[in-house]
Amino acid sequence: MKSFLPILSWGRSYDRSALSNDLMAAVIVTIMLIPQSLAYALLAGLPAEAGLYASIVPILLYTVFGTSNALAVGPVAVVSLMTAAALSTIAEQGTMGYGVAALSLAGLSGVMLLAMGLFRLGFVANFLSHPVIAGFITASGLIIATSQLKHVFGIDAQGHNLLELMLSLAEHARQTNWITAVIGVAATAFLFWVRSGLKPLLQRIGVAGAVANVMVKTGPVAVVVATTLVVWGFGLADHGVAIVGAVPQSLPPFTLPDLSPELLGQLLIPAFLISIIGFVESISVAQTLAAKKRQRIDPDQELIGLGAANLGAAFTGGFPVTGGFSRSVVNFDAGAQTPAAGAFTAVGLAISALALTPLIYFLPKATLAATIIVAVLSLVDFSILKRSWGYSKADFAAVLATIVVTLGLGVEAGVSAGVGISILLHLYATSKPHIAEVGQMPGTEHFRNILRHDVITDPAIVTLRVDESLYFANARYLEDVVQKRVARDPAIRHVILQCSAVNDIDLSALESLEAINQRLWEMGVTLHLSEVKGPVMDRLQDQHFLEAMTGRVFLSQYEATQAIALQTASRRKA
Amino acid sequence: MKSFLPILSWGRSYDRSALSNDLMAAVIVTIMLIPQSLAYALLAGLPAEAGLYASIVPILLYTVFGTSNALAVGPVAVVSLMTAAALSTIAEQGTMGYGVAALSLAGLSGVMLLAMGLFRLGFVANFLSHPVIAGFITASGLIIATSQLKHVFGIDAQGHNLLELMLSLAEHARQTNWITAVIGVAATAFLFWVRSGLKPLLQRIGVAGAVANVMVKTGPVAVVVATTLVVWGFGLADHGVAIVGAVPQSLPPFTLPDLSPELLGQLLIPAFLISIIGFVESISVAQTLAAKKRQRIDPDQELIGLGAANLGAAFTGGFPVTGGFSRSVVNFDAGAQTPAAGAFTAVGLAISALALTPLIYFLPKATLAATIIVAVLSLVDFSILKRSWGYSKADFAAVLATIVVTLGLGVEAGVSAGVGISILLHLYATSKPHIAEVGQMPGTEHFRNILRHDVITDPAIVTLRVDESLYFANARYLEDVVQKRVARDPAIRHVILQCSAVNDIDLSALESLEAINQRLWEMGVTLHLSEVKGPVMDRLQDQHFLEAMTGRVFLSQYEATQAIALQTASRRKA
């Protein structure tokens, strides 16, 4: 029971000190979340209030089911972008159908996450390699920033990849509303300065580091207040500046997602990708923060927590959510001690949704766009290209494909291409394993690659060390390498396969070994194995292969060569 | 040049002895191939002569480009079935469009094989595991045999999987033409007897083994002659017995495949699957036969040979071809010494196509169906299910899925399911690698699993031996295992990862190691590595990780524990 409801564990020891720490963190996070939630709703193509709703019940549910003490769940940039991309083919932004489809997407994603958690399928997320994620986040950040330029300049522009967006922006550039543009560009510039220039300035004038950090995080709130006042004071809404407008004063409503099979069918793949990306983003933040306090995150339970949060979003007017990086770090830095901090944040946002929404009537969309642009551009980091190039060309190819396909075709194609290419390149690499011919280092019992070292070999014996588990993808390759080596040299009488790095032998590989044994026998050559690992030997034990094998299995490579040399010598004598 | 035209190698040393051996083999193979070619054309849904045409120019081209001395190329059962399945959605059997689409399929497959050969992409065929192939061939054999029952009973029946076929047969059972049924059942029974009962009988009456073997292979020819005479003599064609009918007396015609993008698009996946299945079947036969004479097959050159053969089929009225098992074995047993035997077979078949086709006018289709049924049922072998069950559940799952999906949904779905599931299960297995906590065997420098052996451990040091290469799919799993182990036990001060079985560390795994190092550092725990392999160390050398690592890299696990114990002791003294 406790493992499914982590709240039962930490809830029992909850005390006054934890309460005050959690409350403090909640106040800071709430202030930070208000503009962020509104902005990400805008990015997802939804009305501003959806962002608030998506931050209330989901946080509460994560508090009950999640295992991280610091994770803050709600709308995040990349998932909001993926939501907009998924819904773009289903309904027009601003229609009822669009909002309902967002609920369905959150619901479907919630069910998937829950199912993965209950059936312990979280490992599927591992197929998103680190470089692919880095490339995907960078490319998504660029697309998000570009997509927000339309709000900064007050024009219409559509598109779900960089090319479409740039063309559309260029096409509509003439429509630019110059008042909007001044507000948007000024807000963006100010926020960039807050990120880079404010903290050093504050510290120079003697503000303490921690206080300076909090002041920096309130930058977006300051911009929101300032630009709202300007638009209201000068009546700029009448001059074409797009504003958030009327937002209902209400707690999150009870909503029902559309569960028609046709819609769910269309949303299946986007929901899966959103679930995986959201989970990976969330779990890496949670693990990083947990490690700082020597705590542990249970990935399967995290899936359940995020699944519950998304189901909550589906039934309370939200859209897909996950654990966000920046808000979780703020929560952690502000001293959040238990998941209760999240619950208090939810209360804070609920009060905002009830009481503060009239105040944002004149908030310009350009300001929200500016906060998004500044937030996501910090995610854009092409250094992964350089790093992967230096480390491994396979990783580089996967990153490059992810970035190029995401920018060129959109988020779903991009992440699929990245995963597909990393798997293919991994399979390719293991399908042509490193197989070294080895010989004995003079005066030792060690055997090394004959190409790298000056070693002793016997013309009648060839030893091949296989540096990979043997399975279907490389079984025939091994057959070919052995055949090639033996066909080249008629002096060979013994082949030893040194299996010290073979962690597994599957049925295909076993059959290939049988084929190798049979073919070598027909050539008058004996097959031996050496240094077979315990678990591999356990498996081979019951198999006909060991009896059919013309040679023996030796515990060590040294023993193998000694025994064979002895046998050959005694035969020569006879 | 020689590597692309193997004929230049063996052609120079061609002599009289090779000539007479090759001629002898060609005569026997030609006699065997005539009914087989006609039958497989029927199976593919094409007119009988297409089978002859598909055996002439393709063999000649393989002679020029192939590397096997014994492989006989032409229509084979499984590929013919796949051809029929692929074309069924495109055109009606018996129409012009159907025959032209068969040419396109052969052409496309030829181009793919050639491309794979030129770009050395033959490894993709390795992803068909042995058990998946065995399951696929068994299921295909059942489907083929069932599909031929309609000819045996003279009824109409359609379907591309077992269920469809059985339902269709049951539905049309009343149409049974009883004369056809008598001929068909008798021919089938006779051929079964030839396979199982004739050879022992012949040997008992003193016929030499080799002669008896050849007589057994001529069984189908005898049935063809006998049933043709019966149908002709009694005028049974007028009583509803379906016959082959008029076949043009002609050399293979020059034909042009339809290259419209729409058709090629539809044929893309079937052509790919046919290429891969055909290549795998062909190469395994070729390698088995080559090994018997200590010869070598070059897989990439084989792709070129088969590609040329299929292109040849596309332009001379054929359909997809590959190296067949039974005909190649006959060719080998009959003494074929060089690929020239194939060329002579082609000549023999060309003469047959010119001169003998009037003789098969009254050949009943039921006889051809009987030869197919008897040939393919010898391929049906469910023992792979038992074998894989005993060896590895992952292999079993892949075989079972292949058989069930092939029987239930057809050949394309079946082979795709088999490959997909084997890859997924392999990735799953490597995504949760065996990680053993090890301790020192008393009195030795060896370290073994603490769960299996009575070993010495230090409460401040935990050593984890990772039995798998580290890559994206298991990188986070390792993070989790380390975190879990260390969080459980506050006494731990050092973590050693023993990397003796780690053949590779990709960028994701490197970043996971960095994360592990960082998190352990935050918990006051030092990370060390031991027994890192040469190539892995080469890669890590230039990386920031080695500098950032809190501990050291030790050559041996023993050295690691000694050094750490010493360090701890000296610190305690101080």
Sign of the dihedral defined by the CA atoms of residues A332, A338, A340, A342, in that order = positive
B349 has a pLDDT exceeding 70: yes
Q: For residue B574, what pLDDT is reported?
A: 58
A423 to B427: CB separation less than 8 angstroms, yes or no: yes
C-beta neighbour count of A355 within 10 angstroms: 10
A199 at interface of B, judged by CB pairs closer than 8 A: no
Question: Please, which residues bridge with residue B470 across strands?
Answer: B505
- Chain A segment 409-438 residues within 8 A of B by beta carbon are 422-423, 426-434
C-beta neighbour count of A78 within 10 angstroms: 28
Please give the residue of chain A at the shortest CA–CA distance from B123: A431
Q: For residue A287, what pLDDT is reported?
A: 80
C-beta neighbour count of A265 within 10 angstroms: 9
Structural contact between residues B511 and B545, judged by C-beta atoms closer than 8 angstroms = no
B472 to A511: CB separation less than 8 angstroms, yes or no: no
A276-312 pLDDT, tens digit each? 999 988 988 888 788 777 677 888 899 999 999 999 9
B9-51 pLDDT, tens digit each? 777 778 888 888 888 888 888 888 888 899 899 999 999 999 9
This complex has an ipTM of 0.79
A556 at interface of B, judged by CB pairs closer than 8 A: no
Structural contact between residues B418 and B128, judged by C-beta atoms closer than 8 angstroms = yes
Q: For residue B117, what pLDDT is reported?
A: 93
A472 to B299: CB separation less than 8 angstroms, yes or no: no
- Mean pLDDT, chain B, rounded, equals 89
A479 at interface of B, judged by CB pairs closer than 8 A: yes
A523 at interface of B, judged by CB pairs closer than 8 A: yes
CA–CA separation, B32 and B345 (whole Å): 10
Banded model confidence at residue B572, pLDDT cuts 50, 70, 90? low
Q: For residue B325, what pLDDT is reported?
A: 83
> What pTM, to 2 d.p., does this model score?
0.80
B512 to A392: CB separation less than 8 angstroms, yes or no: no
C-beta neighbour count of A256 within 10 angstroms: 11
Residues 6+ apart with CB under 8 A from A417: A401, A402, A405, A406
CA–CA separation, A142 and B155 (whole Å): 64
Structural contact between residues B530 and B499, judged by C-beta atoms closer than 8 angstroms = yes
Q: For residue A3, what pLDDT is reported?
A: 67
User: Checking phi first, is residue A509 left (phi over 0); if not, alpha (psi -120 to 50) or beta?
Assistant: alpha
A332 at interface of B, judged by CB pairs closer than 8 A: no
Q: For residue A573, what pLDDT is reported?
A: 62
Q: For residue A574, what pLDDT is reported?
A: 58
B431-465 pLDDT, tens digit each? 888 898 999 988 877 788 898 888 999 999 999 99
C-beta neighbour count of A93 within 10 angstroms: 14
CA gyration radius, chain A: 31
Q: Which domains does chain A have, with CATH numbers?
A: 7-422 (no CATH), 435-573 (3.30.750.24)
A506-558 pLDDT, tens digit each? 998 998 999 899 989 988 999 999 988 888 888 888 788 899 999 999 988 88
Structural contact between residues B508 and B531, judged by C-beta atoms closer than 8 angstroms = no
Contacts of A504 in chain B (CB under 8 A): 429
CA–CA separation, A372 and A46 (whole Å): 15
Structural contact between residues B449 and B458, judged by C-beta atoms closer than 8 angstroms = no
Q: In this complex, which of B126, B283, B475 lies closest to A431 when CB atoms are compared?
A: B126
Q: In this complex, which of B123, B391, B468 lies closest to A503 when CB atoms are compared?
A: B468
Per the listing, tokens 């063309």 go with A167
Structural contact between residues B532 and B438, judged by C-beta atoms closer than 8 angstroms = no
Q: Please tell me the distance in Å from A351's CA to the nearest CA on chain B.
A: 37
| 3-state secondary structure at position B524 | coil
| Proportion of chain A above pLDDT 70, given as a percent | 98
CB pairs under 8 A between A and B: 187
Q: For residue A2, what pLDDT is reported?
A: 62
Q: For residue A261, what pLDDT is reported?
A: 92
Question: Please, which residues bridge with residue B498 across strands?
Answer: B465, B530
Mean pLDDT of A28-47: 89
Among A82, A75, A112, smallest CA distance to A264 is for A112
Among A117, A83, A110, A127, smallest CA distance to A398 is for A127
- Chain A segment 5-24 residues within 8 A of B by beta carbon are none
pLDDT: which is higher, B312 or B336? B312
CA–CA separation, A162 and A159 (whole Å): 8
| Proportion of chain B above pLDDT 90, given as a percent | 42
B90-143 pLDDT, tens digit each? 998 888 899 999 999 999 999 999 999 999 888 888 888 888 988 998 999 899
B80 has a pLDDT exceeding 80: yes
Q: Work out the angle between the directed axes of helices B393-409 and B162-172 (0-180°, nearest 10).
A: 40
B269 has a pLDDT exceeding 80: yes
B120 at interface of A, judged by CB pairs closer than 8 A: no
